[in-house]
Amino acid sequence: MIADQNPGTQGGGSPSVASMTYAVNGTTVSASVNDPDGQSPTAYQLGCSKMLYPGTNSTIYSLDLLSTTGELAFTFFTDSLKVGNYIYTSIYGDMYVLSYNGADEYVHAAKDSISFNITSYTKGHISGDFSGRLTPMVTAGYPTNTYGAPGSVLITKGVFKNIPVFY
């Protein structure tokens, strides 16, 4: 159990603004939430939640952003979120990461990956940076999804600050 953890709520700090900024192929996406601690742990615009991985007894954390251009989601495959680097590559299988202006982007092709670096985890809030290379999905139709140009979506300049972690 994390020292500042308070089951059923987010962790105890109270930064006034949570924010996330990144560039998709050079176009900046930016979002912020005033009073991030006041968001619902089950319906938030910008937050990170602890949950059971579907179909298992394993714990994961999901960092999520809903913005005007779409959404971003990253899964930390760990039962103990802490400061450090979390990398997901295509060797683990396809993983949805981003919806940007109506197009879904995945870790899919051989050289695709997404890396989130948590540089601070204080009073139930995480901050850090991220970057990645993704492949767009052209047509959904599992198990025969059609993908676009491999690695053609670059995520750069990713920064997140004061994101509440909901336990």
Q: What is the pLDDT of residues 52-77, one digit of tens each?
A: 988 888 999 999 999 999 999 999 99
pLDDT (0 to 100) of residue 2:
39
Mean pLDDT value across residues 82-88: 97
Mean pLDDT value across residues 102-114: 96
Mean pLDDT value across residues 74-86: 96
No. of helices (H) and no. of strands (E), the chain: 0, 12
The residue among 135, 132, 131, 133 whose CA lies nearest residue 105 is 135
pLDDT (0 to 100) of residue 15:
52
Confidence of residue 86 (pLDDT cuts 50, 70, 90): very high
pLDDT (0 to 100) of residue 11:
47
CA distance 59 to 77: 8
CA distance 78 to 61: 7
Question: CB 83: neighbour CB atoms within 10 A?
Answer: 13
Confidence of residue 84 (pLDDT cuts 50, 70, 90): very high
pLDDT (0 to 100) of residue 116:
98
Whether residue 90 has pLDDT greater than 70: yes
Rounded CA Rg of the chain: 16
pTM: 0.88
pLDDT (0 to 100) of residue 55:
86
Confidence of residue 40 (pLDDT cuts 50, 70, 90): very high
The enclosing H or E element of 126 equals strand 125-139
Whether residue 7 has pLDDT greater than 60: no
Whether residue 92 has pLDDT greater than 70: yes
7 Cβ neighbours under 8 A, 6+ residues apart: 167
